[in-house]
Structure 1
Amino acid sequence: MRRIISACRSLPLILLALLLTLPVLAVFAAWLPWGDADGLAGPILREMASTVLPGYVWTTVWLGLMVALGAAIVGTVAAAAVTLFDFPGRRLLEWLLLLPLAMPAYVTAYAYTDFLQFSGPLQVWLRETYGLEGRLLPEVRSLGGAVWVFIFSLYPYVYLLARTALGERAAHLMEAARLLGAPLRRRIMTVALPLARPAVAAGVALVLMETLADFGVASYFGIQTFTTGIYKAWLSMDNRIAAAQLATFLLVLVVLLLQIEVRAQRRMRFVTNGVGRAGSAEAQPLRLRGGQAAMAWLVCLLPVLMGFVAPVFFMLRPLAADWSVLPWSRFLEWAGNSVRLGAITSVLAVAIALALAFAVRRRPAPLTRGVVQLASLGYAVPGAVIVVGLLLPVGWLQAAVPDWGLASLITATAVGIVWAYLVRFCAVALQSMLSGYARIPVSFDDSARMLGTRSWGLLARVHWPLLKRSTAAAALLVFVDVMKELPATMVLRPFNSDTLAVVAYQLARDERLGEAALPSLALVAVGLVPVIMLSRTLRSR
């Protein structure tokens, strides 16, 4: 009887989690016999498998491998430099290395293309100055260009986790190895880097998930990845079932990467446990001077220049050259649409996350924890998969009950796009709320119950005053993520409701890169806010 009552109490949470996971479930349902009622998806997939699908897979694999290797090298070397060594300006470089997190990868792609393409200022200057002709630099819009963009946009994921792992224990163990007579090279290769291996693996998994989820860079550069193949099967071939069935392969790969990330995080926690603070404080980073300090500066400054400073400079150039070509008149409209969608989504995401976190706090049963994990699945799902999975059940219901008009409700209003945002980013708010609850002792709840506080009164009078900072952080993170989201926004936005991300993509695609600089820089400015918060948090720790 108690189990039945507990299940009934958890029913609203279960329905909420199903609402957030419906797109993922719908993608897998596309393989059921009734999913492809007209039987057209099978011939389309067979035709794609014999023509373009091997190319999609090959390009995606090569892109993922090269980006993973490059991000692992750049992030690990930068983390080792600021953690294991001490040199002038190290504190400054610690947070400068986080700046590329504020740059959406597609914005970096627009900036490099504008500056380095055949008609860009660099090649024009080289031809005019030295009397040269033809193309002088490699084509930016290529697989190599995409690898470059992704490496310097995503390496902070590896840098952050590797820096945390090395900072916990590496300096202490390297000091012990030095006292045993090990040279510096051996201390780094046999002590520090193996210690950071789980953190690097977790960071690389995150980098790969972001690379697989990307649509803006691949579409703009004309690279035929699996994500662009999903959109082509859906939009060009007009078959949502084929797109959904393709999306399942991408979703399975993302789930595998997520498992790798989770296991690496567990190993990382195991590695960092049991080290006293006093022992870590006794071991100091190795002091560098002269040429060694300059080399450390170069190693740390190069990723910042390539991932943030250079793209911002490239976008500021057209702003300084001619302000009249910029779409100032419509900029406020685009920014207003982005802010409105971000505000609505952040409020709803925080409310859902607070309800789920409070439920876990009250009843930490396996059922409640399973519901929370189910609701967190969407963050790892690419935006293209969410869009396909969101419109599939709507299409099925529309075909079954034509009078309901569900298709117009999802695609012609803000309902569909906010739903997709919640599926994608509710996990961000949920993690922040769970972290906030972890800092509230359970004894507070027991004391409040002894004083007669029950149920929602506990949340309103005890938890909420202590969760205000976590709530604000969660709302801000969701807001920034919504502002930068491109694939779901581009497909599901209502008519005449362009956002900054969509406009930047459309202007860049139309070769109006100078006009794309204004919305792109606005996205970068918004993205700087959580980066500054993250930097302050790391320093306070």
Structure 2
Amino acid sequence: MRLALAGADRAWQSAAVGIALVAAMPLLALAWAALPGSEGLWSHIAVHVLPRASLNTLLLLGGVGVLVVAIGTGSAWLVTAYEFPGRRLMAWALLLPLAVPTYIVAYVYLDLLHPLGPVHGVLRTLLGIDDPRGLRLPDVRSLAGCILLLGFVLYPYVYLSTRAMFMTQAAGLLEAARSLGVGRAALFHRVALPLARPAIAVGVVLALLEALNDIGASEFLGVQTLTVAVYTTWITRGDLAGAAQIALSMLAIVVALIVLERHARRRQRYAAQQRPRPMRPQRLRGFPAALALLLTLVPVTLGFALPALYLAWSALRRWGAAGGVSRQLLASLWNTLTVALLATVVTLLAGLVAAWAMRLAQARRRGRVEAVSLRAASLGYAVPGTVLALGLLTPLAWFDSGLAASLAVFGVPPRMWLMGSMAALVIAYTLRFLAISAGSAEAGLARIPASLDQAARSLGRTSGGMLRDVHLPLLRPSLAAGALLVFVDTMKELPATLMLRPIGFDTLATWLYADAARGAYEEGAIAALLIVLAGLLPVALLARTGQRFGGGVATR
């Protein structure tokens, strides 16, 4: 019996190692593709493309980092430390910009702030200016405009992690500081902020990784970043080696961000407290209450409310003008749902296998191989979509060539089995979002006591039987939440989809990208609105989780 159980455990371990190898394969292939170098174009890229793209990327990340820290940390402290009218509503409304992808926000504001758009039109009417050239607002198509737009969309990453830290800080520490004469403002700078620094670091790194992954907003706003350079070098110039070398420089930035986050959390420790009592918010009245409400309304309005309302208005206008939705858009919606559902199922299964292998290894008081496999399987979430897609090109091409040569013996005509179908997108989405499903499964398994495993073993259950009969029923909430996040993220994914989609295959994201690229903004409003509505699902889940925290109100 022990030999059989050990053999079953080794099978799970082998499966986890195989998933990790597949996840690491794009990065290894990327390095291989970069080795030959680019014969004629690399000198041009190194002189004219890479310096400018690197500088723009670093400036973009720096500006977005400052903005998300200011907005995310400030709003988290306001809704945690103070009570004001509308506070409970704003506490979850501040998460809403997460539902809007960055490229959709850029798409909306380009149309809103166009010289012939509604904002200029209203201002010219109010000022009595008839000539469209008589009024010029600052151009949103700039690096500063890109920083502002990305900052107001990505700040919830900092807000979410920082507010969770503020809400779980023991009230005793803060009350002790107050008893020593520390004012409310100084309490934030001298006590709360240093304690929340690790959470801020986590949120900032997540926001910057999303900014680095962005391609639509940067290209729409005319900012040449490394992500845009990778895409144009491969798609426009057909230079795979040059694109791979640029992608490797992006990986250096990714590694630097992760090291920075680890450095910020290096001294993080937790004191042993049984039921830490969260702080009680202080009630505000009059002008301070109105100011607090206004400060929390601004990011919600700019990052979600204004884009969402404009998309709804544009979609209704487009619906009325066209008499419905075109067949091409319906086909794109079907493609999006199909590939997202397939990718969600595959990603969920792969993540569950990796997490379960880790659980079995921990029961044997081992697990070094499984732990490394689990971390390697989560690499894709930190890798920008363009880099991941570029790394997949060579392995997918090798597989298609080998399979075509093997089937040619039986008279099967050659074709692109992976690159010419949705399979390439499913693989890319799985590797990109495997960290979400693996993390959800690992978190769910951590809440199941080990005594259940021991009881199932004593009754003769194998590893697979134990997972099926005991753990899966208990894992349903965690797996459902992970599946929802993966499904919505695959619907919004743009960079990898642009590079790996089959010819003639459009998703809602690529449909919107194509319409915005040719300036037909009204055409993509319906597609953008559908993506935003789908993005509201995980935000509602996060808001529901956040509402579980609470506390009393301090009037003084």
TM-score in same-fold range (> 0.5):
yes
From 57, 70, 92, the equivalent of 1:95 is 92
**1:435 to partner: Cα distance:** 0.7
- Check the 8 A contact 1:410/1:492 in 2, yes or no: no
CA distance in 2, matches of 1:91, 1:489: 38
**1:16 to partner: Cα distance:** 2.1
Range with bigger deviation, 517-526 or 319-328: 319-328
**1:409 to partner: Cα distance:** 2.0
**1:204 to partner: Cα distance:** 1.1
Range with bigger deviation, 48-57 or 525-534: 48-57
CA distance in 2, matches of 1:410, 1:398: 6
Structure 1 residues 290 and 233: CA distance shift in structure 2, 3 A: same
Is residue 545 of structure 2 the alignment partner of residue 540 of structure 1? no
**1:92 to partner: Cα distance:** 1.2
Kindly provide the amino acid, as one letter, of the partner of residue 356 in structure 1. A
Could you tell me which residue of structure 2 aligns to residue 52 of structure 1? 49
**1:322 to partner: Cα distance:** 4.8
Kindly provide the amino acid, as one letter, of the partner of residue 277 in structure 1. R
**1:11 to partner: Cα distance:** 2.8
- Check the 8 A contact 1:420/1:488 in 2, yes or no: yes
Is residue 194 of structure 2 the alignment partner of residue 191 of structure 1? no
Could you tell me which residue of structure 1 aligns to residue 341 of structure 2? 343
CA distance in 1, matches of 2:359, 2:128: 71
- Which deviations, in whole Å up to 9, do the C-alpha atoms of 1:47-72 show, x marking residues without a partner? 21222221111111111111100111
Q: Secondary structure at the match of 1:390?
A: helix
Structure 1 residues 316 and 256: CA distance shift in structure 2, 3 A: same
Higher helix share: 1
- Check the 8 A contact 1:199/1:264 in 2, yes or no: no
Range with bigger deviation, 188-197 or 297-306: 188-197
From 12, 15, 18, the equivalent of 1:12 is 15
Structure 1 residues 311 and 171: CA distance shift in structure 2, 3 A: farther
CA distance in 2, matches of 1:505, 1:408: 25
Could you tell me which residue of structure 2 aligns to residue 521 of structure 1? 529
CA distance in 1, matches of 2:103, 2:267: 33
- Check the 8 A contact 2:72/2:155 in 1, yes or no: yes
What is the Cα-based RMSD across aligned positions, in Å? 2.2
- Check the 8 A contact 1:158/1:204 in 2, yes or no: yes
- Which deviations, in whole Å up to 9, do the C-alpha atoms of 1:353-372 show, x marking residues without a partner? 11111111111310111111
- Check the 8 A contact 1:25/1:389 in 2, yes or no: yes
CA distance in 1, matches of 2:143, 2:521: 20
From 345, 355, 358, the equivalent of 1:357 is 355
Kindly provide the amino acid, as one letter, of the partner of residue 469 in structure 1. P
Could you tell me which residue of structure 1 aligns to residue 219 of structure 2? 219
Is residue 281 of structure 2 the alignment partner of residue 285 of structure 1? yes
Q: TM (normalized to structure 1)?
A: 0.93
Superposed, 1:105-504 pairs within 5 Å as 105-132=102-129, 133=131, 134=133, 135-169=135-169, 171-264=171-264, 267=267, 270=269, 272-278=270-276, 280-281=277-278, 283-326=279-322, 328-330=325-327, 331-364=329-362, 365-395=367-397, 403=405, 408-504=416-512
**1:239 to partner: Cα distance:** 1.3
- Which deviations, in whole Å up to 9, do the C-alpha atoms of 1:388-430 show, x marking residues without a partner? 1000234456778973699822321111111111110111111
Range with bigger deviation, 131-140 or 447-456: 131-140
Structure 1 residues 288 and 146: CA distance shift in structure 2, 3 A: same
CA distance in 1, matches of 2:100, 2:537: 12
Task: Give the unaligned 5+ runs of structure 1.
Answer: none
Q: Secondary structure at the match of 1:57?
A: helix
Kindly provide the amino acid, as one letter, of the partner of residue 301 in structure 2. L
Kindly provide the amino acid, as one letter, of the partner of residue 342 in structure 2. I
Range with bigger deviation, 283-292 or 511-520: 283-292
**1:147 to partner: Cα distance:** 0.9
Range with bigger deviation, 390-399 or 112-121: 390-399
CA distance in 2, matches of 1:412, 1:527: 28
Q: Secondary structure at the match of 1:385?
A: helix
- Which deviations, in whole Å up to 9, do the C-alpha atoms of 1:311-339 show, x marking residues without a partner? 11221232344533456032332211111
Q: Percent identity?
A: 40
Task: Give the unaligned 5+ runs of structure 2.
Answer: 407-412, 550-556
Structure 1 residues 9 and 348: CA distance shift in structure 2, 3 A: closer
Counting matched residue pairs gives 529
Q: Secondary structure at the match of 2:272?
A: coil
**1:181 to partner: Cα distance:** 1.4
- Check the 8 A contact 1:202/1:260 in 2, yes or no: no
Structure 1 residues 414 and 314: CA distance shift in structure 2, 3 A: same
CA distance in 2, matches of 1:494, 1:16: 25
Could you tell me which residue of structure 2 aligns to residue 530 of structure 1? 538
**1:263 to partner: Cα distance:** 4.7
Is residue 29 of structure 2 the alignment partner of residue 26 of structure 1? yes
CA distance in 2, matches of 1:10, 1:313: 50
CA distance in 2, matches of 1:414, 1:399: 17
- Which deviations, in whole Å up to 9, do the C-alpha atoms of 1:61-110 show, x marking residues without a partner? 11111110011100010001011112222111110000001010111111
CA distance in 1, matches of 2:305, 2:414: 46
Range with bigger deviation, 520-529 or 503-512: 503-512
Structure 1 residues 264 and 433: CA distance shift in structure 2, 3 A: farther
CA distance in 2, matches of 1:284, 1:361: 39
CA distance in 1, matches of 2:472, 2:14: 24
Q: TM (normalized to structure 2)?
A: 0.90
Q: Secondary structure at the match of 2:116?
A: coil
Structure 1 residues 347 and 396: CA distance shift in structure 2, 3 A: closer
Kindly provide the amino acid, as one letter, of the partner of residue 376 in structure 2. L
Range with bigger deviation, 63-72 or 490-499: 490-499
Structure 1 residues 9 and 463: CA distance shift in structure 2, 3 A: closer
**1:206 to partner: Cα distance:** 1.1
**1:183 to partner: Cα distance:** 2.2
Q: Secondary structure at the match of 1:223?
A: coil
Range with bigger deviation, 515-524 or 330-339: 330-339
